[in-house]
Amino acid sequence: MNTISLQLTSSQITTLLTQFQQYKLEKQQAYVQAQYKLTDCVITVYTSNKVVFQGKEAEYYASSFQQTQSFQVHAGSDEVGTGDFFGPVCVCACVINELSYEKLPLSQLKDSKKIKDADILEIAPELMKILPHSLLILGNQKYNEVHHNYNMNQIKAMLHNQAYLHLKKKVKTLPSLIIIDQFTPENNYYRYLANEASVFSGIHFETKAEDKYLAVACASIIARYAFLKAFDEMSLQYQWDFPKGASAAVDRNAAQFVKQFGEKKLKNVAKLHFKNTEKLKEYL
């Protein structure tokens, strides 16, 4: 179990009490001002303004209050959909400044993979109102066309590059700290962009960045939201229950889809270079 202790200011205590009010425990303890029980963390606020975070996600919940003490304006980007046979690839880049930081629901923000889809659908629209962002959605048909000439990492690099170029037009001057959740080494990333007309540079590459930088976490949430909405539209168009991921269940579903709609339609809903395309033939 992770344990993190922080000495917070009165202002920070007020923010914490407000953010976690719905998780408050009624049981009173000596020298304890309040205690909150979340799914993966218990937060204890002492009368001395000492706060103890205990649990699997202690570092995450504590980090927002550590960041308050030394918040730095930054931009970040992330992608969603690259591990799913069905559905598009979505990339988002966004900026967080001092003003928008104060408006963010910090207790709800983390890597989109750790947030339920139902919560994503509620959180993301608010983030999209608060944060300057650029969102790109590469549908399956276009993805399959592009993949004839470029591999997955090249496609992701081009999408991240375009997202930052678009974001720069919106914000004019981007902050000095710009982060990509690293999916390939920095030298490979720029090599993939060698033939692009314009390349956005000065990016910091870091693995698991969505757990360390709020802008990357927010970009991840917005990108996931776009993926879910596109997924729903695709399901509605075909009146078909597409599964997420790339499991054997996906193979079976894809085989049934081909039986009903024909093999040519598969390119409109799936990434054909995935191994699932070959595996589904076992069920035909």
d(CA 158, CA 1): 40
Rg for the chain, CA atoms, rounded: 21
Which residues, other chains included, contact 185 with Cβ-Cβ below 8 Å and sequence gap of 6+?
A: 205
φ/ψ of 268, rounded to 5, equals -85, -15
Residue 51's nearest CA partner among 31, 71, 68, 72 is 31
Q: What pLDDT, on a 0 to 100 scale, did the predictor assign at position 23?
A: 93
d(CA 41, CA 37): 6
pLDDT beneath 50: ranges in the chain: 68-69
Residue 226 near residue 199 (C-beta atoms within 8 A): no
Q: What pLDDT, on a 0 to 100 scale, did the predictor assign at position 208?
A: 85
d(CA 154, CA 136): 15
Enumerate domains of the chain plus CATH numbers.
Answer: 3-69 (3.30.310.10), 74-234 (3.30.420.10)
Query: Coil, strand, or helix at residue 240?
Result: coil
Q: What is the pLDDT of residues 142-183, one digit of tens each?
A: 999 999 999 999 999 999 999 999 999 999 889 999 999 999
Q: What pLDDT, on a 0 to 100 scale, did the predictor assign at position 69?
A: 45
DSSP notation for 45-101: EETTSEEEEESTTHHHHHHHHHHHHT---EEEEEEE-TT-SBS-EEEEEEEE-HHHH
Residue 96 near residue 51 (C-beta atoms within 8 A): no
Other beta carbons within 10 Å of 225: 24
Helix axes 58-69, 10-19, angle to 10 degrees: 140
DSSP letter (8 states) at residue 243: P
